[in-house]
Structure 1
């Protein structure tokens, strides 16, 4: 029988969603700006004559961003509301917790794969998907510092600094939805440094700026998605895995698409549309915070 004792039991087993303590907007925005500058600056503290893809450059940058990752959480700890720090475990603020972990690993990854339904079909037609079943491919990948940068270190460091350390601060000054649209701006601007790198390689100014602007738009749009995943799931593993997957897939290869036979091309285009439409429809559904036991950053 449903009685008062049952009500008390349910109340104690399901954590109540409490309002997020607030800090001044100037504090949160300034901290995020400084973190973005420190992250980008760490890539250029080394004096080198080599390109960004040279192994020595990559290894030095690994060391730099690792230091930034160790340093960044202090901003969250020092400038967060004392009330929030007393109420919640600090690792939880950064997106490290057990509740809802497997959901955060599996669901956002499959959702993002749905977004790439068309490109995945194209890869299957060109037989490039077979490389994933080749041991030499994986052994070669894990021994390549470029591959490790693109699929491990870059997603891990960027998501940790720009999501795990910036979002907790911004969320203490803005609503979750507003925060999702603010932090990606820091993420997008942080990628503008690639303009200087292209200029150093002899690329024309107009071309470098155009590519840089396109990269800013792309990274900002991805930042919206990544920040949304962090706020909705309360887990850093969700945006990290999605970031690594998106880096691997890259932008759709239109030239490869048009090389397919006519009927396969039609199917591929249909899957592009279906995948995107399904992703838009399912995004708010499968990221429901209740699935991930997230009562901290997105109260429902």
Structure 2
């Protein structure tokens, strides 16, 4: 399977870089993004110091979060500029410009945005013209919009389908108040987890890295299964946060190691899913919404849900099963 460059308005044929170059760019983007978290003293965590009577500063401390948000936003902008510069360089080389400019031009800005998944339309292209869809009745229109491929709606439904169990247990059974949900969002942890982290991570680890892979002529399998490894690797730095927060002891090291192993596995699996959405649709919106959705629910905890609702154990089990089965079926039919 090869990439499909024809859907992008590129001013040159592919490939323009090698796969090794693409991997090098991905390594640079990862280093820039993760390294930015530790550039400032205010963005670093610290264990408690009993001698100096200093309390521990964790990654959830408001000042740490604010400092890190500023740094990762800057790092993300830098990565986007890096892809823009690569596009300009590739165009200059292809067109035979004698002197390559130091800064990219506006002529390559839209092709860069298109490659990064920022097209004019935020949703995937309709399988049929809107007028044709409107000719159906309401239910037929919904059916064709969801089931016909490529669907403008289906990519946004995959994450909710997979999380049918958590939706049932955490929202329908627990019935959290609007006030509690609003409070969870509008604090620094919520802004980090539900807004800035998903947006910057998807731009860097999906848009920028898959763009480089496509510029190298990488296969679709490479784009979906290899590029997310950098996303998993980027979360390894949390091991240091766990190690430092727990006093840098032997036990802290063991905890950090297993935390790191679990996060690498979980984030890589999600990365495969998000990369699939990005490559299939050519736009960032589906993978971004899936990222936000998964961050809201976190890791599914069916047994904890069953303990909270002992009379609904069977219902919770069935909803989890339906969600996983439905997700597998949807992926199989090409959603």
TM-score by length of 2: 0.73
SS in 2 for 1:180: helix
| Pick aligned residue for 2:194 from 151, 169, 174 | 151
Displacement after TM superposition at 1:285 (Å): 4.0
* Aligned equivalent of 1:97: 119
Residue deviations 1:223-255, cap 9 Å, x none? 001111111111111111110100111111233
Cα distance change, pair 185–141 in 1 and its aligned pair in 2 (3 A): same
* Aligned equivalent of 2:303: 255
Root mean square deviation of aligned Cα: 2.7
8 Å CA contact retained: 1:96, 1:235: yes
Distance 2:192 2:281 in 1: 25
TM-score by length of 1: 0.81
Higher alpha-carbon deviation: 41-50 or 183-192: 41-50
Aligned residues: 269
Distance 1:224 1:130 in 2: 31
Cα distance change, pair 245–205 in 1 and its aligned pair in 2 (3 A): same
* Aligned equivalent of 2:69: 62
* Runs of at least 5 residues in structure 2 that lack an aligned partner in the other structure: 47-56, 96-106, 126-150
Higher alpha-carbon deviation: 104-113 or 187-196: 104-113
Equivalences for residues 49-88 of structure 1 within 5 A = 49=46, 50-80=57-87, 81-82=90-91
Higher alpha-carbon deviation: 24-33 or 136-145: 136-145
* Aligned equivalent of 1:291: none
Structure with more helix by fraction: 1
Cα distance change, pair 96–285 in 1 and its aligned pair in 2 (3 A): farther
Distance 1:222 1:130 in 2: 26
| Pick aligned residue for 2:155 from 93, 108, 127 | 108
* Aligned equivalent of 2:252: 204
* Aligned equivalent of 1:165: 208
Structure scoring higher RCO (CA < 8 A, sep ≥ 6) equals 1
Cα distance change, pair 100–236 in 1 and its aligned pair in 2 (3 A): closer
